[in-house]
Structure 1
Amino acid sequence: MADSIETESRKLLRRLQATLAEAGAGQERLDKITSLIADSMRTEVCSIYLFRDPDTLELCATEGLNPEAVHKTRMRIGEGLVGRVARTSRAINTADAPSTKGFRYMPETGEEVYSSFLGVPIQRLGETLGVLVVQSRAKREYSTDEIYALEVVAMVLAEMKELGAFTGEGAALAAPHQNPIMIRGGVAQEGIAKGHVYLHEPRVVVTKLVSDDPEAELVRLRGAVDQLRVSVDEMLDIAPKGDAEQLQILEAYRMFANSRGWMRRMEESIDSGLSAEAAVEKEQSAARSRMERVPDAYLRERLHDLDDLSNRLLRLLTGQGGETGAEIPADPILVARNIGPGELLDYGRALKGIILEEGSVGSHAAIVARALAIPLIVHAKRITTEALNGDLVLVDGEQGIVHLRPDDRVLAHFTDKIAMQAKAQERYASIRDKPAETLCGSVISLTMNAGLMADLPSLPSSGAEGVGLFRTELQFLTRSKVPRRSELAEIYARVLDAADGKRVVFRTLDIGSDKVLPYMKPQDEPNPALGWRAIRVGLDKPGVMRMQLQALIRGANGRPLTVMFPFIAQLEEFTRARDALLREIDREAALGRTLPESVEIGAMLETPSLAFAPNSFFEMADFVSIGGNDLKQFFFAADRENERVRRRYDTLNVSFLSLIELIVSRCRDVGTPLSFCGEDAGRPIEALCFAAMGLRSLSMRPASIGPVKHLLRRSDLREARAVITQARASGAMTVRPAVMEWLRHQN
């Protein structure tokens, strides 16, 4: 950038800083800013458009256009040239605006006499807050230096908007982080919670935006970058050499930390008048904007690396460190862009709820949240930019809604909902030790799902008769390397100790698909849910399965052992897995080790193919457990990670119930115990229908046992079956309406 332009840029930023330092209302400040920008850039027009809602921009200040249009001229995102800048987060520079594609004439502004147009997004960390525009009568394109200068000013405006420097009347000038906001997301773990926000990685607050001493800022930047490079090198030195994925990430960090282009762009921003931290944040915003436009997943991950590196650099420059600086409230709702399972376990059961901006239904964090029975909402867009530490927040993990800073009406309704649930829990507690016996005398066994030692205290308090599913993969997912056999044996022994004689069904390692081990090389599969996962991995990697089976045998230490193999699709897979376990029992006997008192070997039926397996499978299996989550996704060909389709198909669809009926019949014919395990088992209406179809064992999260038992004890399965039969005969697609109507007429 030429010295003359640099001088003008710095002069503009100094004048801007002086204007922001003056007392005055938001509108007065905005008016002064548009005037000084127009004057400094020698243009007839400067206008500032800000979002009044996520879809609408509003003209909030102008120098040169009709002042009567301020707060009256509005446009949808994507509408006109200003709307296009907002939608694409890219500058538009044209010498002849009226003839440019997408131009929208707004007669109330009086802009028809201006030909040239330059619009740049007002954005902070990838979030577009508005558009900054300059216009002039003469037909000319603005120079690269002028564009850069305007982008620098726009970045400062974005930061000041975030800090509340432009508050005033109207939605577009509303003070940030004060109004109630409702955000819709996806449900990854059901439940409701009320609490206060605790940010996992709070934003670094940049208060020093402009500097009069570029040389001093360059020294600060270079010193911080040197520190950053040293820290990355140290991380590489201590990283496990066998962990190729972690080494790859750290090598990417080092590449970015030593990138000349990255450094040059930040130095240019400092030359233009920004402080070191403002220069870093400007480059970070640009990287996040690029991230949104990159279709390639690998490149997006690399841009995430750069984003993380920028955060580290900002913390070095501001001295705000890696901690939140805020005390964890008594009722914390964790808010994060994303979080790993190990980090989530560090918080433990202290959390009342979790809200993630990214994440997925099958992510490692979701698995841990289910194990801890903590309500979890994923895909909550903009939650990390909207929420502040200490904000009141309501998590509705039944509808997938987050209420941030709720108004009194919403808060009262939600509080009533929590109170009603508390009363229901008292009612459930009164039947905790009673059997789930229906009015017709059928007794349904209700067991709980678990995966962590932290789950086991729920066993006696929930009324569960045992653990119908213990997910052993969590001990693998939360470590940076394969756990040792002795570690696993100790964990399994402690699980059985905590169960105090109640049956525990250990499911062997169920990885792949949405559960990728941190130390396992990712598989480039077009459809991982149908790929190399669960028992397929175990049979192809017999060393890992053998180690786990040995740990299970040793953990049992003379007590009954129940082992279930996941994702069995055909008889041959089950026979191979079963033989592997029997071989390990023989080996342990030969070594003189204590053997389990008894051994049950079962399979999880998660693929429709297994429902049609030969009779010998059902005869050989000591028990079968229907894995409802996967079985439903494969039966309906509806990816359970895809929000567009996963709720489209009803569990009580007559076709799916016919499949359940077939499985019940095949198990009953040979006397093989059958259970249903999955989210649907914990939903009272679904549980009732499963019981009416002949299932006598259901496994669910601990909190669901009370509601399910309560409904079963008030129902007659013969009547429920008659309602289901009649609905099916009528040609109904689902039996749900008929069953719910019948329940409404019950006492």
Structure 2
Amino acid sequence: MKSFSFSCELPNGVHARPASHVEAVCNQFDSNITWQNQRTGMSGNAKSVLSLIGTDTLLGDECLITIDGMDEESALEQLKQFINNEFPHCDEPLAVSDQEEDQSLAPLPRNFSNLKTAHIRGRSVSEGFGKGRLTAVGAVNFDALADLPEPRALVEEQNLLDTGIEAVIKSLNIFLASAQHTEGEVIKAHLSIARDNEFQQTLQENLVEGRSCADAIIATAKHFGELMKNSSSAYMRERELDIRDVCYQLLQSIYGNERFGSQNTLTEPTVCLADDLTPSQFLELDKSLLKGLILSHGGSTSHTVILARSFAIPTIVGVEGSKLSAFLDSEVVVDGTLGLVVTEISEPVERYYTQEHKVREIVATRQAQFRDVAAQTADGKVLEVAANIAHSVEAKQAFSNGAEAVGLFRTEMLYMDRTSAPDEDELYNIFCQACEAADGKSIIVRTIDIGGDKPVDYLNIPTENNPFLGYRAVRIYPEFIEMFKTQLRAILRASAHGNLKIMIPMISSLEEILWVKDILAEVRQELRKENRPFAEKVPLGIMLEVPSVAFIIDQCCEEIDFFSIGSNDLTQYLMAVDRDNAKVAASYNSLNPAFLRTLDHVVREVHRHGKWIGLCGELGAKGSVLPLLVGLGLDEISMSSPSIAATKERIAKLDSRECRQLLNKAMQCRTIQEVEHVLAQFRMTQTEAPMVSGDCISLDRDLRSKEEVIKTLADNLYLTGRCRYPNKLADDLWAREDVFSTGLGFGFAIPHTKSEHIEQSAISVCRLANPIQWGDEEAQFIIMLTLNKHAAGDQHMKIFSKLARKIMHADFREQLMTAQSCDQVEALLKQELELN
């Protein structure tokens, strides 16, 4: 008999996933292997996942492994090596989120926070908002099962159970073959439970004369569920879900989905609350009734979140279920834009979201006319607008949102959050799915950009001091040549089914391009020998993100077909700024004249050599910078798909010649502030809207609070194209109100601000159906003055003073209060304020 002891280093203790790793190692040997938790005194069979879980082993617990059998020597050696080297990496710490203390959450806009409504903050991962009954999903409730099947003869029940277990294992293996990322890890854990000796033995013990398979399965689920519930670890208690899932799958396998259907069936508008939700569980939910999703765990790149975005389901993560347990079965609002759950839906909250809905409907209707047409400027200059995606599941929604192509398929997400790299067939299937959604449109697939700042555990790349400058992207390919070749093979094979292009990240020299081309030629030759079809002319391009490439474009153009500017990295490399370092973040700014000159140089050079160039960084979706990108003469810009229709709409209003002149002017600036000023002036000249116009006047409105008035008027300025960020403009107005109320008496108020968030200065007018409280006064007639910060000068106070003086006159007030139309109000203000 051999034994050794150690301390558990797993942050979440021994739950299903790490237990399955231990079980896999132990089952290689014939010896009996026992795991004892010295803290609790509980022992378990190390060849059984469930037995291991039952030891309630937590972080820091002293454990003793005992081995007894013919191969105990080799088992001891391998187990020691596993516990010392691999076991600590079988799991990772969960992100613990205490939203009350999370300083990274942006302050809420005043229009909302002033409502003083009960809410819980979370992290937004899918925008929008929705209202529904809060319902917990994911976990199976065995107590809710009624009318169970009648028991048959024991031998029949035994056959049913054996067949059911085999079917579940087979089904899980099928799902595992195509599973991605975290989903694959969950399936592996479920597979280890289904195969577990103790699990199967408990099922057999519960299957006695007079009991059905269903009785035995439910008894087994409850037995192991109690083990989980009694754990000292909250995380371990939550892992009861693994047991419940497998047992319910077994019921469905034996009796069919008709008898044991999904318990996640929605029957009314619902906001779903889950610790976590697998992609398959998400797809089960009726999307017409799913109004929002709240997850305790999950990140912006998890498959479930990606699916939620593609179905436009408002989603927030990082909210502990216990904080919302008291509100189950109550109506809540999930706001995926602000990142919160409203738990008390008062009338002001209802009205707030009614206004939000109106704004979204108007914008969606307006942008719909641009969604499915090619983007071009007012003077006919074509600029392709493409989408950035991280998985094939995003492709369909991207093209539905108006993408003319996929300008960046970030493949590194396919390699992260898993224990090994995807194989060729898995990648091939993913790329084929994207091609099917593209329906002939082009897809630029960027080869893996991992290492350095995007670590992948199974590659064992050491941590670096300067990961952005280190061992990443194309630089790691020679060491991981087979992984690189596998990806190239998958892309080329998929090219037989669609219009794929290959793009290499982090290129800094011609040597790297030539090396990649040699490997690509080898892969092509291998595929020819195997008689595997692929497109012979798949374009090859590079990311233009390392500044050195800007000075060898002529040489690069001899070897490659296209370029795509990675504006995020090019900015930080050109300015020598780590964008994640808060102390130097102020220098990370793509409006730096040096950066603009670099962009102009590379676009000119690429076009001079007859090649194509796009931009796939975050800069592409910034409306304020878009005129500069149009001025550059880029062939394409790509962005997240929700921004596409809005970008096409903005492009249609621009003149490419004016944009070129703007770029020339910006490149002559000496500072970032000067560039910002030039851009602000340009935006003001784009629409010659008068300061007073009918589209900013409304009469006899049913608005019931100061918050509603300011929100409605700011939203209207956004809808009329005078403001890009209505919440920020409203915050500026509130900052003025905090100093002193702008109520003037006589039933009038003049809220006002000089703001960078107003692009076209405007006087907004709102006559209310009934007076509201405005500070210490009541107000029924609101005249809101919003002037552009860069152009206002002293105009702000001049207009304010003139308005205040006019309101002192009863006849002026009377004319405004009794006006029969918006035109009358417009004419009166223009005349009295001398604005014609």
In the superposition, the TM-score normalised over structure 1's length comes to 0.54
1:395 CA displacement: 4.6
* 1:525-604 equivalences in 2 (<5 Å): 525=463, 532-557=471-496, 560-604=499-543
Q: After superposition, give the CA deviation of every residue in 1:478-507 in whole Å (9 maximum; x if it has no partner).
A: 877654434443443443344222222222
> Residue 718 of structure 1 is aligned with which of 641, 653, 657?
657
Deviation at 1:720, TM superposition (A): 3.7
1:743 equivalent among 683, 706, 716 = 683
User: Using the alignment, how far apart are the partners of 1:475 and 1:571 within structure 2?
Assistant: 28
The offset of 1:540, in angstroms, is 2.1
Partners of 2:405 and 2:135 lie apart in 1 by 35
One-letter amino acid of the counterpart of residue 484, structure 2: M
The partner residue of 1:449 within 362, 380, 388 is 388
Q: Given the alignment of the two structures, is residue 182 of structure 1 paired with residue 119 of structure 2, yes or no?
A: yes
2:360 match: 421
Whole-angstrom distance in 1 between the partners of 2:274 and 2:579:
23
C-alpha deviation, 1:373, in angstroms: 5.7
Does the Cα contact within 8 Å between 1:341 and 1:364 map onto a contact in 2? yes
Where do 1:87-106 residues align within 5 Å? Answer: none
Note if contact 1:342-1:478 (Cα within 8 Å) is conserved in structure 2: no
Q: CA deviation at 1:697?
A: 0.5
CA contact (8 A) 2:97 2:318 kept: no
| 1:580 partner SS | helix
2:538 partner letter: V
- The residue matched to 1:599 in structure 2 has which SS? coil
Give me the whole-angstrom Cα distance separating, in 1, the residues matched to 2:437 and 2:591. 35
1:698 Cα offset (Å): 1.1
Identity %: 29
* RMSD after superposition: 5.5
TM-score (norm 2): 0.49
- Letter matched to residue 507 of structure 1: R
| Distance change >3 Å, CA 283–CA 629, structure 1 → 2 | farther
Q: Distance in 2 between matches of 1:644 and 1:202?
A: 45
CA distance in 2, matches of 1:348, 1:632: 43
Other-structure match for 2:458? 520
Cα distance change, pair 349–381 in 1 and its aligned pair in 2 (3 A): same
SS at match of 1:435: coil
Over 3 Å counting, the alpha-carbon distance change for 1:460 and 1:406 in structure 2 is same
- Does the aligned pair in 2 maintain the 1:197–1:335 contact within 8 Å? yes
| Distance (whole Å) between structure 1 residues aligned to residue 380 and residue 449 of structure 2 | 37
Name the residue aligned to 1:503.
Answer: 442
- Unmatched segments (≥5 aa) in structure 1: 1-125, 129-178, 207-230, 259-275, 289-303
Q: Structure 2 matches for 1:446-485, cutoff 5 A?
A: 446-458=385-397, 461-473=400-412, 476=415, 482-485=421-424
Distance 1:741 1:415, change over 3 A: farther
Q: Distance in 1 between matches of 2:500 and 2:97?
A: 54
Using the TM superposition, give the Cα deviation of residue 183 of structure 1 relative to its aligned residue in structure 2, in angstroms: 4.2
Aligned-residue offset at 1:465: 2.0
After TM superposition, list the pairs within 5 Å mapping 1:92-131 onto structure 2: none
Q: Is the 8 A contact 2:185 2:418 kept in 1?
A: no
Distance 1:127 1:477 in 2: 22
| Residues 70-101 of structure 1 deviation map (CA, whole Å, 9 limit, x = unaligned) | xxxxxxxxxxxxxxxxxxxxxxxxxxxxxxxx
Amino acid at match of 1:661: D
Distance 2:408 2:645 in 1: 18
3-state SS in 2 of match to 1:621: coil
Does the 8 Å CA contact 2:618/2:639 hold for their aligned counterparts?
yes
CA distance in 1, matches of 2:510, 2:285: 42
Matched letter for residue 373 of structure 2: K
Q: Is the 8 A contact 2:501 2:539 kept in 1?
A: yes
Q: Against the structure 1 CA distance between its residues 326 and 506, is the aligned structure 2 distance closer, same or farther, given a 3 Å change threshold?
A: closer
Preserved contact between residue 377 and residue 653 of structure 2 (Cα < 8 Å): yes
Distance in 2, Cα, partners of 1:638 & 1:708 = 28
Which residue in 2 is equivalent to 1:27?
Answer: none
Distance apart, 1:367 and its partner CA = 5.7
- Supply the AA of the counterpart residue of 1:182: H
Indicate conservation of the 8 Å contact 2:399/2:437, yes or no.
no
Assess if the C-alpha contact under 8 Å between 1:335 and 1:384 holds in 2: no
Q: CA deviation at 1:710?
A: 0.6
Q: What's the CA shift for 1:709?
A: 0.6
Name the amino acid aligned to 2:643: S
Letter in 2 for 1:697: E
Residue-by-residue CA offset, 1:653-693 (whole Å, 9 max, x unaligned): 54544443343244234333111124442343333332223
1:558, 1:594 within 8 Å by CA — same for their partners in 2? no
Q: How many angstroms apart in 2 are the aligned matches of 1:542 and 1:730?
A: 46
Contact residue 525 and residue 531 of structure 1 kept, 8 A: no
Label 1:381 to 1:309 Cα distance change in 2 as closer, same or farther (>3 A).
closer
SS in 1 for 2:673: coil
> Are 2:412 and 2:450, in contact at CA under 8 Å, matched by a contact in 1?
yes
2:649 aligned with 1:706: no
**Amino acid paired to 1:583:** E
Aligned equivalent of 2:375: 436
> 3-state SS of the aligned residue for 1:685?
coil
1:420 Cα deviation after fit = 1.8
Write the distance in 2 (CA, Å) between the matches of 1:648 and 1:542.
Answer: 37
C-alpha deviation, 1:707, in angstroms: 0.6
Task: Report the residue type matching 1:465 in the other structure.
Answer: E
- Aligned mates of 2:577, 2:272 — CA distance in 1: 30
Change in 2 beyond 3 A, CA 1:640/1:716: same
Task: Work out the CA distance in 2 between the residues paired with 1:324 and 1:182.
Answer: 31
Residues 1:661 and 2:600 aligned together: yes
After TM superposition, the structure 1 = structure 2 runs for residues 160-175 of structure 1, keeping only pairs within 5 Å, are none
| 2:575–2:587 contact (8 Å) kept in structure 1 | no
- Equivalent in 671, 676, 692 of residue 731 of structure 1: 671
The 3 A distance-change label for structure 1 pair 389 and 692 is farther
Structure 1 CA distance for aligned equivalents of residues 347 and 587 of structure 2: 34
1:639/1:560 Cα in 2 relative to 1: closer, same or farther (>3 Å)?
A: same
- Cα distance in 2 for partners of 1:348, 1:536 equals 45
Contact 1:561–1:598 (CA under 8 A) maintained in structure 2: no
Aligned length: 510
Name 1:674's counterpart in structure 2. 613
Aligned AA (2:119) = M
Give the match's secondary structure for 1:509: coil
CA contact (8 A) 1:651 1:686 kept: no
Partner of 2:822: none
Task: Measure, in 1, the Cα distance between the counterparts of 2:325 and 2:674.
Answer: 40
Structure 2 gaps of 5+ residues are 1-95, 99-115, 144-164, 199-222, 252-260, 688-836
- The SS at the match of 1:594 is coil
Is 2:431 the counterpart of 1:492? yes
Contact 1:368 1:474 in 2 (8 A): no
**In 2, Cα distance between equivalents of 1:347 and 1:569:** 47
Q: Is the partner of 1:446 in helix, strand or coil?
A: strand
Shift of 1:604: 2.3
Partner of residue 685, structure 1? 624
1:624, distance to aligned residue in structure 2 (A): 1.2
Are residues 712 and 409 of structure 1, via their aligned partners in 2, closer, same or farther at CA, if it must alter by over 3 Å? same
Asked if 2 retains the 8 angstrom alpha-carbon contact of 1:560 and 1:597, the reply is no
Task: Tell me how far apart the structure 1 counterparts of residues 298 and 468 of structure 2 sit (CA, whole Å).
Answer: 17
> Which position in structure 1 is the counterpart of 2:745?
none
- 2:584 and 2:117 map into 1 onto residues whose CA distance is 30
What is the distance in 1 between the residues matched to 2:391 and 2:138?
A: 25
- Supply the distance in 2 between the matched residues of 1:489 and 1:588 (Cα, whole angstroms): 13
